[in-house]
Chains A and B, each alone.
Chain A
């Protein structure tokens, strides 16, 4: 286990971790904007810089990407580091002074601004890249990306078009530190044409990504529960039955067979649209068994049973 020194405190670190992880594990706070424990370190915001002394040479390194080595001496809050962070925060204030994270950092580091000498862009996006990375690494959809170089860089969907890879999960909105990503769930959206308008039902709308999803309505309870396109994608990728997402998860309750009432006629087996019911021998008779993992919860069998032996569990 490598022995390192952070701010004069001797720490035994574990192998294959970064300076930031060790510091935070030992209650030493280093500010970050583009770091998330669930993602690969990106090293874009450079707020996490620390002084690293290695072989007698002092360098300034980003702590979120720098791997721990034996004998490192690390200083996280020297004048040089504070000055560097102040410059970064000052630059961010001019790009967009409104996000709370930026204001918090500015007051903590005593940065006033934005500087009136420069143009103030008033943008909310700080280009930390968390949404892009989350979409790539957690959701694995790769629906959004960076585009442009230098000052013109922005996060967007490929070619600014509505992305076909987006599954509308909203992870980007959840992870965004400045609430730049605008996700709205509209219960009664209207489709407006010059001559006409009609209600198309509930939609999930991402203004930022130029993307809109129609939301699937549950056949049982009538509540909207999830965007239609990603459900189709999941269904294909997981080899699920075609009607699997006709009902919402809370309505997807497999029916229960009362074996005393059941005649063993096999009508439910014939009528089940997806073949989730099979007859199995129970004692001397044949009784239906419902395969819960395949059942879509359509409850067609409940309606079709001649003696009412099939009921819905816990319906009340």
Chain B
């Protein structure tokens, strides 16, 4: 079957809707890598066995991650006439009990987390489930309270490998809409009016980047999705791609249409093997039904996507280093200017965006830039996905509107583990500064966080009162020492020397003048480093010296 127009997509959506609101019972198991590592595979297999044993008319699906990392494996049950019930921590031993109770048409109240009575999709369609009394609604569930899910709207809901289910939630409607009735300039205007800024950390306006690429005349242009995630202890992009890979692909297709590209690359970190597999399978499926390839939906628009695996270096997430790696060269940043939007991959105009940025695009096109801009604050529009981790009670992946105060996000995560007090937190990956606990009233806002010398990237790491900030700074410097590409001197040599000073301090051999030396390096290294990795390298050190000076001073002898 080849999709020729919007009717084909609607046909697919009808098929998918049957899965999302089935006649029979549907079990879904969160089987992203985060779930699998907590035993989701065992749960899935035991579920299948138990269902076969008890002759239950039910299907079992592996879905993505709905962000409730702390209570994996998560199982959701849709029974006809009842609400969709979400169960947490369903280990294989608990499965038989669950199956017998579901067969009786009842609910295990002590295991159930929350219920969902309806889902509203982007295209306005809704799926209504029944109402089961005695369980709190999803909107009342603390970890979900205050979340607005645009990027994660399908996370944990649909089978990531099913094109039909994605279409049922309004997928590919945005693509059909722009292909049939919009011009590239109109698409870019829509993205500009949404105020979307790059979600990789730098926060460059996406519309402006696309406009530059569109206005640069060239025989060939490229779209590249950057999924080279390397932040330590954070796996947010992996979770996003694993839960809703088609959203990334649709976003890239819209970008390609807007700038006039016909070839795309998804650059996936070598650690995200399962994400890479899913993307490859789906690209094959889409090519077979004619949503990728030549003359998509009977228009002049052609687009192909290739998935490339990265070498795994942190620096390969830097956009020019990524382009070098795609060309087969060493993973080193290139000098800028020229910027990739003018002269990128193979010397052609290239739009490089983070996967999260691309995942925002279909929603913006379908519901309009003004709708998207209604979330967030001036200068920072829309929502942001954050992996909340570290010393928190509940490890979570949340999506909140920009402008949300950090303390509200911490509240979703249940505060600090073990009833300890918060000492500091880090936002913006290893290159973000570590801020003291008194700053939890800061909003998630590009400008305001920039003023605090940190940024908005993929993670929010909480640190409790027992955290030793010198050791924490050493951890991040060690990370940079290993991940620096070594091209330019300040980053290569600087990270090593800073590490040496911190080692002295940790061993209690600190000297007077050490802190001044570390602080004196910050400006010059920031000035001279070629890429953002080097420029941000000292942020964890200088921010901890500024905010937690007592941790350092007690190590310096008189």
Contact = CB atoms under 8 A, between A and B. Distances in A.
Interface in B509-553: 511, 520-521, 523-525, 527-530
Nearest to A60: B527
Interface in B424-467: none
B524 A84 contact: yes
B485 interface: yes
B489 A44 contact: yes
B451 to A, nearest CB: 17
Interface in B366-385: none
B525 A150 contact: no
B481 A150 contact: yes
A111 to B, nearest CB: 12
Given A60-B528, A87-B524, A117 B511 contact: yes
B528 A149 contact: no
Interface in B468-512: 480-490, 492-497, 500-501, 504, 511
A67 interface: yes
A62 interface: yes
A88 interface: yes
Given A49-B528, A118-B497, A148 B335 contact: no
A92 B492 CA distance: 10
A94 B486 contact: no
Interface in A103-152: 117-119, 126-127, 129, 145-146, 148-152
Contacts of B488: 43-46
A41 interface: yes
Contacts of A62: 335, 528, 530
Nearest to B335: A65
A24 interface: no
- Interface residue tally of chain A, by bracket? 35 or more
Given A43-B335, A150-B483, A119 B524 contact: no
Contact of B495 (A46, A87, A88, A150): A150
A144 to B, nearest CB: 13
A83 interface: yes
Determine the interface band of chain B, counting residues with CB < 8 A from chain A: 35 or more
Contacts of B338: 67
B313 interface: yes
Given A65-B335, A151-B495, A87 B525 contact: yes
B330 interface: yes
A80 interface: yes
A118 B337 CA distance: 36
B486 A153 contact: yes
B487 A44 contact: yes
Given A60-B527, A80-B527, A83-B524, A88 B511 contact: no
Nearest to B491: A150
Contact of A67 (B337, B482, B485, B496): B337
B500 A149 contact: no
A80 B523 CA distance: 9
Interface string A43-69: 111110100000000001010011100
Contacts of A87: 490, 494, 520-521, 524-525, 528
A140 to B, nearest CB: 15
18 contacts: A43-B530, A45-B489, A60-B527, A66-B335, A80-B527, A83-B523, A84-B528, A88-B490, A91-B493, A95-B493, A117-B504, A149-B482, A149-B483, A150-B482, A150-B483, A150-B492, A151-B493, A153-B486
Interface of B: 313, 330, 335, 337-338, 480-490, 492-497, 500-501, 504, 511, 520-521, 523-525, 527-530
Interface of A: 41, 43-47, 49, 60, 62, 65-67, 80, 83-84, 86-88, 91-92, 94-95, 117-119, 126-127, 129, 145-146, 148-153
